[in-house]
Amino acid sequence: MQIVSTIDELRRVRRDWLRAGERVAFVPTMGNLHAGHLKLVREARARAPRVVVSIFVNPLQFGAGEDFAAYPHTPEQDEARLREAGVDLLFLPSEAEIYPHGREGGTFVEVPGLSDILCGASRPGHFRGVATVVAKLFNMVQPELALFGEKDYQQLSILRLMARDLNIPLELIGVPTEREADGLAMSSRNGYLTPEERAIAPALYQVLRDVDAELTGGGRDLATIETAAATRLQAAGLRPDYLTIRRAADLQLPQAGERRLVVLAAAYLGRARLIDNLLITLD
């Protein structure tokens, strides 16, 4: 595995692969890699002869008072895992390499509409930060494929829209969420949970599954289902930010007769803000 930290070095390697006609699959990450990230890498490996992973904790996607300074760093462990997973190139840029004009001095990418709802409503500027860094990374790496976890369903929807609107020539692939044995979606932020909170956390997925069962069982009063589910989250000890049933295609409110839905939730638990979602197809 080659490790580079500058765009020039990255481009040199990329050019050689282009000359050799080798396609590139790209997995952007913020490090502290867990089994969910490694699943993205495995999927990338299966789809292209060359795999690039980036690790960059992107300051632009953290709001004031969020966990940028505390975000977990595990560089040696990450490097070993990526080597073992057969990654060809690890891109480890500095902040100055990505944002040479500072955090506020450069061009931003905004995806209107979708960026201001759900997680975007509680984290203003978050998706602008995500879209900006991912657009820049796409231009640096120039991959044919890019892979993202479905756990961040809203992020995935926004990035699909961004790639389409900016005519970025790549295929964007969503990979199903990797879960702990008790159903908790894998996330670097799970590390913030105390043992007591960790025991409560699987309730989030359990409640999403309950919503799935209610909808597939014929329940159609979405508002009542959502309110009851949020109450169950609260009773379990979580503090719901939102729990909502949306159209899977575009995260808008479902019309009657809509068949492809997604139930999404975010909830606070101690220092952590947990998110999860479940795709639901109705007959």
Q: Which of 53, 82, 134, 208 binds ligand PAF (CB under 6 A)?
A: 134
Catalytic site residue from 37, 73, 101, 126: 37
Nearest to 25 by CA among 3, 52, 55, 56: 52
CB of 239 to ligand PAF, least distance (A): 23
The helix (run of H) or strand (run of E) holding residue 256 is none
- Residue 270, burial from CB neighbour count under 10 angstroms (0-12, 13-18, 19+): middle
Cα–Cα distance for residue pair 50/1, rounded to 1 Å: 11
DSSP 220-237: --HHHHHHHHHHHHHHHT
Report, in Å, the least distance between residue 160 CB and ligand PAF.
13
Structure tokens at 264: 């999404």
Q: Distance (Å, rounded) from C-alpha 92 to C-alpha 4?
A: 6
Is 137 or 215 the residue whose CB approaches ligand PAF more closely? 137
Strand partners, 260: 281
- Part of the chain binding ligand PAF (CB under 6 A), chosen from 69-77, 126-134, 232-240, 275-283: 126-134
37 has catalytic annotation = yes
Q: Which of 33, 130, 204, 266 binds ligand PAF (CB under 6 A)?
A: 130
Please, what is the minimum distance in Å from the beta carbon of residue 155 to ligand PAF? Answer: 6
**Residue closer to ligand PAF (CB basis): 61 or 157:** 61
Residue owning tokens 């002869």: 49
Closest distance between ligand PAF and the C-beta of residue 72, in Å?
Answer: 12
Report which of 78, 89, 92 is spatially closest to residue 45, judged by C-alpha positions: 89
Task: Find tokens 């597939």 and name the residue.
Answer: 216
Q: Which of 10, 25, 33, 133 binds ligand PAF (CB under 6 A)?
A: 133
Identify whether the C-beta of residue 176 lies closer than 8 Å to the C-beta of residue 153: no
What track of x and - describes contact with ligand PAF for positions 146 through 185 (by CB under 6 A)?
------x--x------------------------------
Backbone φ and ψ for 201, nearest 5 degrees, come out as: -55, -35
> Whose Cβ is closer to ligand PAF: residue 137's or residue 248's?
137
The tokens describing 255, both together, are: 């019309």
| Residue number with CB closer to ligand PAF (7 or 222) | 7
**Exactly one of 13, 25, 30, 109 binds ligand PAF (CB under 6 A); which one?**
30
The yes or no reply on residue 28 touching ligand PAF (CB under 6 A) is yes
In angstroms, the Cα distances linking 114 to 127, 153, 260 are: 9, 11, 18
**Residue with Cβ nearer ligand PAF (33 or 229):** 33
DSSP, res 60? G
Q: Is 58 in the site for ligand PAF (CB under 6 A)?
A: yes
Least gap, CB of 62 to ligand PAF (angstroms): 10
Query: Closest approach of Cβ 152 to ligand PAF, in Å?
Result: 5
Considering only residues 37 through 56, tell me which ones interact with ligand PAF, judged by CB under 6 A. none
CB 188 within 8 A of CB 178: no
- Positions annotated as catalytic residues are 37
| Residues forming the site for ligand PAF (CB under 6 A) | 28-30, 58, 61, 130, 133-134, 152, 155
